[in-house]
Amino acid sequence: MKFSGKTILVTGASRGIGAAIARALSDAGARVLVHASRPSDEFAGVLADVGFEPGDALIEDLAAPGAGARLFARALDAAPRIDALVNNAGVYAETPLDGPETPWAEGWAANLAVNVQAPADLCRAAIAHFRDHGGGVVVNIASRAGHRGDAIDGAGYAASKGAILAMTKTFARALAGENILFYAVAPGWVETRMAPKDIAARATAIADIPLGRVASPEEVAAMTVFLLSGACPSATGATFDINGASYVR
């Protein structure tokens, strides 16, 4: 799959899944606009790997109001034509059911701001841009939790990922006729900082995965690159599960 001449915006690209996606797209020939919430050595490493041009590194805190729209506008300043968007950036903020109300409210607010509002605003801006340029592609990185739920203190996170899945389906149904394609990828545990590191917790997580291991970021990246390639437009609106058969729909 070749992406020569294509420009793709990837959010949350400083590490983990986002970094793997950015590197895979760069290897396939795309110009990758890489986003992070803040500068870091990890982000600098990704930039070096993708051979970035001036302006391709975009810093924006997606928890801030209006951040998604600002980020897409800055991406257009760097590249007048954007062919695809990967909404990968996300947070896991616990929403503890018991105890004080403040952590509950703050957790919900963080999950909704970063995992729902910012991607929605980015999708809105991308759709307007794609309509002026004959189409485009969006891949939204969701989660297994959006289908099967999460631990009780992860209700806010699970709900936010469920919202992303519903949004993806809605836009796909409405916009396929305009050659604007939407896909969702729903990983289970992936070998990133969010994966359980405690020995007992990790053993419990792996015991729930028939494949016997957590997924690698590169596996999620491979699926994302395939969806962005245009090889199967008829799959628009679909969600692709990457969870080692731990949740089979």
Of these residues, 92, 157, 183, 247, which one is catalytic? 157
Of 215, 200, 202, 218, give the one whose Cα is nearest residue 246. 215
2 part of a folded domain: no
Compute the 3-state secondary structure of the chain and give helix, strand, coil in percent, each to the nearest 5: 50, 15, 35
pLDDT tens, per residue, the chain with 249 residues: 789 999 999 999 999 999 999 999 999 999 999 999 988 888 888 888 887 776 789 999 999 999 999 999 999 999 999 999 999 999 999 999 999 999 999 999 999 999 999 999 999 999 999 999 999 999 999 999 999 999 999 999 999 999 999 999 999 999 999 999 999 999 999 887 655 555 556 677 888 899 999 899 999 999 999 999 999 999 999 999 999 999 999
Residue 230 is part of a domain; what is its CATH number?
A: 3.40.50.720
61 part of a folded domain: yes
The span from the CA of 138 to the CA of 141, in Å, is 10
176 part of a folded domain: yes
136 part of a folded domain: yes
Tell me if residue 183 is catalytic. Answer: no
Range of the domain at 109: 7-242
36 part of a folded domain: yes
19 part of a folded domain: yes
60 part of a folded domain: yes
Amino acid at 206: I
How many structural domains is the chain composed of? 1
42 part of a folded domain: yes
